Structure 1
Amino acid sequence: MRKYVLILTSVMLVIGIGATFWVVRGLSDFDLARHSIREVSFELDDAVLSGTLVMPMDATNPPIALIVHGDGAQDRFSAGGALPLINALVDAGIGVFTWDKAGVGESTGNWLDQTMEGRADEALAALQAISALDDINLDQVGFLGFSQAGWVLPRVANQIVPAFTVLVGGAVSWRDQGTYYNRVRMGSEGVAEEEIEQRLADRILRNDALFDASVAPPPTTDMDPARFSFVAGAYWEDSTDFISGMKGPVLAIWGEDDLNVDARSDSVTFQEQLMPLTGDRQVVMVPNATHGLLRADLFNYQLPSDWPWYLHYVFLGMGRDAFAQQSLDQIVHWVHASVE
């Protein structure tokens, strides 16, 4: 009996040591201390946007990706969730500049006052601020955007020729994206298909009238007034024409299991509008990947707030390994190839 107790104790000890090593390895992806860090601010209209430039140590003229966030009041590191991605990029020799949205963290202003055109102006202002720094080569600076950046970065790449544009989970039509999101949401809540279609049809009619720019908005809605104003300015956004005019290298990439954006439909639009596709203009679908390219078998929820409590600890333990296999490597290799 004692022999079996010793064996079981030894096994549990090995498992405990392994688990500790795994967690420590993952937590290192949430620490930027091993990189060169510089605080950078820039102005746009009446706002001052504050951010962090993270560079590989001892790197000479590396490519630099400017992060364009998706929807919501996001700080520069997306409440820490973006740190594994940033560490993976910087470890691979790609600098990253990311900033707090207007009115978030150390930035002034209010992101809800922005239009998609205004967000594009902000991205261009960030590019100007970074390219003005010593030892920065504008030919190496590009963009990495997520979700809502689908209405931002195509605008940017119509105005300038970025060194590269990477768009993750980019949406094409705001109206269609909202319909898809709500269809998935209702399906996950067990609503019958017939009822889903009726609810969505009613919703589209209601919203089309609500956000009709030719009439004044109703005096009351269920939405916070600031959010209503933001959505009203974006409801009819469709980036199709901007996509066709994008300049420079473009990588449009989606998770195959995206629950937020209709990846199959939107990827087809990008394929059609970016033709001809070449080595530096690619449309990619990643298997077993979420809206943000995390592993779908573990993390496929529409919002991080939907995660079960334990998944937050799993994410901390996994770090960059929480991303779908080869998705980050694909971005890294493509960025380096684009600036060679």
Structure 2
Amino acid sequence: MSRKKMALAALGTILALALGLVVWLLVAKDYAIAEEHVTIEGPRSELHAVLAKPVQDANPHGVVIFVQDRGPNDADTGTYRPIWDAYAKAGFAVLSWDKPGVDGAPGNWLNQTIHDRVSEVQSVISWAYKRPDLDTTRIGIWGEGQAGFVVPEVLAARSDIRFATLVGPSTNWIHDRLFAVRADLTARGDSATEVAVAVDRRDRFFTLLESGSNYQTYVRSGIDSPPMLAPAFAFAERNFRADAANAVARISTPLLLVLGGEDRAVDIAQTENLYRSKMRSDLLTVKTFADATHIITRNQIEYRDDFRVSARTLFAPTSVYAPGYLDTLRIFAKHAIA
């Protein structure tokens, strides 16, 4: 083959790949949702929220309330839209909001207790009842991680929630934090001795909190070097006793428990055991994605930080999740209100 023909063949291959990539990106971000930014009166201050509604189905829509994991998250967190789209395909709108202090929202999420977050969810549900485009006979809740302390409390207190989905939910604050330290350092390749020292340091931190010690005592203890900032210490001080067991036992709502076999934030064995032992078996569905992470991403995407992951998350976020996860959410929601 001549050099000219080889060059043309190579160019054709590049163009074909580029066209395929463009098509893939368009499909991967082709969401069937329309987003509306709304302000909701919260228990302490206004909540800045996004209402994402299906674009093809007629009103009114059922609605899924989103309850986020720990940290300073905005309404989307950069990865929620594929999940919103999955619910839209089942005929549901989604309500999600910025945490206090994030993206200009008033307040500070570090000042919150678990009870504060429960009150937020209650306020959002009350707001939904005022919207004629939302069908409040079809309310669901989706929660992730730390939402495991919040959602069971809401479910135990209400009778109007048709279904709930919890993804890698926390069950006991102290146990999960010790587990996370051990899992992260082990995955990083630290020695057993290094892992044991780090776990002991976290254990001593919680012992200090249990003794009622203040921030100055914590700083002088030398447990952490450098020490965490005072607002983070106060946040832990307010919430470290959180335990979901009692609330889980009072759930009378169909619940989908989604677990990732590679979860480094939550002890999924303990989580599954708690839900199976506390909930009625006819109300509980457990789905484990063996190779998925805490938020059910594939190929360790959640734990990687490189250009390919950033590009995939930005341009094709649907492909970030483990195969079958989004369909699982959609199917469970649809069957729950059938």
Would the aligned equivalents of 2:38 and 2:50 in 1 still touch at CA under 8 Å?
yes
> Alpha-carbon deviation of 1:336?
1.3
Shift of 1:219: 4.4
Whole-angstrom CA distance in 2 between matches of 1:238 and 1:113: 19
Contact preservation (8 Å) 2:40, 2:47: yes
1:265: Cα distance to partner? 2.0
Matched, 1:180 2:185: no
Q: Which amino acid aligns with 1:226?
A: P
Instruction: Determine whether 1:19 maps to 2:28.
Output: no
CA displacement 1:220-274 (0-9 Å, x = unmatched):
5311111111111111211111111112111111112112111122112111111
Counterpart check, 1:277 vs 2:276? no
- Cα distance in structure 2, aligned partners of 1:202 and 1:97: 39
1 CA distance for matches of 2:38 and 2:15? Answer: 46
- Equivalent residue in structure 2 for 1:52, among 41, 50, 53: 50
Name the residue aligned to 2:241.
236
Change (3 A) 1:40 1:5: closer
Which of 247, 251, 265 is 1:246 aligned to? Answer: 251
Tell me, in whole angstroms, the C-alpha distance in 2 between the residues paired with 1:59 and 1:94: 11
Residues 316 and 220 of structure 1, relative CA distance in 2, 3 Å threshold: same
TM (norm. structure 2) is 0.90
Counterpart CA distance in 2 for 1:215 and 1:317 is: 47
Q: Cα 1:260–1:212, aligned 2, differ >3 Å: closer, same or farther?
A: same
CA deviation vs aligned residue, 1:29-49 (integer Å, no higher than 9, x gap): 5xxxx5343333222333111
Q: 1:265 and 2:264 equivalent?
A: no
Please list every run of 5 or more consecutive structure 2 residues that lacks an aligned counterpart in the other structure: 220-226
Q: Distance in 1 between matches of 2:266 and 2:91?
A: 30
Amino acid at match of 1:293: I
Work out the CA distance in 2 between the residues paired with 1:92 and 1:336: 6
Deviation at residue 67 of structure 1 after TM alignment: 0.6
Using the alignment, how far apart are the partners of 2:155 and 2:313 within structure 1?
33
Kept after mapping to 2: 8 A contact 1:167/1:253: yes
Gaps of 5+ in 1: none
- Report if aligned partners of 2:63, 2:135 keep a CA contact under 8 Å in 1: no
Partners of 1:183 and 1:239 lie apart in 2 by: 21
Check conservation: 1:67, 1:145, Cα contact below 8 A.
Answer: yes
The Cα offsets for residues 249-300 of structure 1, whole Å up to 9 and x where unpaired, read as: 11111112112111122112111111x312x4212212321111111x2514
Conserved? CA contact 1:210–1:218, under 8 Å? no
Partner in structure 1 of residue 121 of structure 2: 123
- Specify the SS of the correspondent of 2:169: coil
How far apart in 1 are the matches of 2:218 and 2:136? Answer: 47
C-alpha displacement of 1:318: 2.9
Measured after TM superposition, the shift of residue 213 of structure 1 is 5.7
Q: Secondary structure at the match of 1:112?
A: helix
RMSD: 2.0
Conservation of the 8 A alpha-carbon contact between 1:88 and 1:320: no
Distance 1:337 1:194 in 2: 49
How far did 1:217 drift? 4.4
Secondary structure in structure 1 of the residue aligned to 2:316: helix
Aligned-pair CA distance for 1:61 = 3.4
- Taking the TM superposition and a 5 Å limit, the aligned residue runs for 1:14-93 are 14-29=16-31, 35-57=33-55, 58-78=57-77, 80-93=78-91
Residue 229 of structure 2 is matched in structure 1 by 224
Normalising by structure 1, we get a TM-score of: 0.89
Q: In structure 2, what is the equivalent of residue 208 of structure 1?
A: 206
CA distance in 1, matches of 2:250, 2:269: 21
Alpha-carbon spacing, 1:135–1:86, altered in 2? closer, same or farther (3 Å)? closer
Distance in 1 of aligned mates of 2:326 and 2:192: 36
Contact 2:42/2:124 (8 A) holds in 1? no
Paired position in structure 2 for 1:107: 105
Q: Is the 8 A contact 2:153 2:247 kept in 1?
A: yes
Distance 2:249 2:311 in 1: 42
Moved more, 12-21 or 327-336: 12-21
Contact 2:43–2:123 (8 Å) recurs in 1: no
**Count of residue pairs brought into register by the alignment:** 327
Paired with 1:126 and 1:259, the residues of 2 have a C-alpha distance of 30
* Distance change >3 Å, CA 13–CA 73, structure 1 → 2: same
CA contact (8 A) 2:35 2:53 kept: yes
Identity of aligned residues (%): 23
8 Å CA contact retained: 1:68, 1:143: yes
Whether the 8 Å CA contact 2:258–2:288 is kept in 1: the answer is yes
1:137-156 map, 5 Å:
137-156=135-154
